[in-house]
Amino acid sequence: MADMLTKAGRSSLMARIRSKNSVPELAVRRTLFRLGYRFRLHRRDLPGTPDLVLPAAKTVLFMNGCFWHGHTCRRGQQVPKSNIAFWTAKITNNKKRDRRVKRQLRQSGWRPLVVWECWTRDPQRLESKLRELLEREKGGV
Ligand SMILES: [Zn+2]
């Protein structure tokens, strides 16, 4: 097997991350709830259909797969061993779309934040990352 995952394997991986009630998403929801944040799920009327919306904090969260959205972590920087041009173009397009969506959200008064898949594997890391993001979000209040 030249590549780490088959094409179908990658597709189902992405589908799992983006779909409702995935394990990483449930971990994020539980942590947010414990930290006292209340949220709504999958608001389709907002650009990019954010995974979680925190109306009181005017904040939206996207759960991003590290490979698909080109995270700076090891997984995100992994170069596929086959179809390099295809994957590179795909990831570049995803990153472009992410930037566009974030810009649209900011323009309509929302603060877009990204929760990376790799954070969700360790509950303590996830909690500290979420605290960090959301407290910065409050802008020193
Ligand atoms: Zn990552």
Residues 52-102: pLDDT tens digits?
999 999 999 999 999 999 999 999 998 888 999 999 999 999 999 999 999
Alpha carbon 122 to chain centroid, angstroms = 15
Looking at residue 16, what is its pLDDT? 46
Ligand 1 centre from 79 Cα, in Å? 14
Tokens describing residue 18: 């983006």
Say what the pLDDT of residue 107 is: 97
Q: CA 61, CA 102: separation in Å to the nearest integer? A: 10
pLDDT exceeds cutoff 80 at 13: no
What pLDDT is recorded for position 72? Answer: 94
Q: 36 with 65: CB under 8 angstroms?
A: no
Distance 64 CA to ligand 1 centre (A): 8
- Model's pTM, two decimal places? 0.79
pLDDT, position 43: 78
For residue 109, the CA-to-ligand 1 centroid distance in Å is: 27
What's the gap in Å between 74 CA and the centre of ligand 1?
7
- For ligand 1, the distance from its centroid to the CA atom of residue 121, given in whole angstroms, is 10
Q: How confident is the model at residue 106 (pLDDT cuts 50, 70, 90)?
A: very high
Is residue 12 predicted with pLDDT exceeding 60? no
Taking ligand 1, which is a single-atom ion, which protein residues have CB atoms under 5 Å away?
66, 71, 73, 76, 116, 118
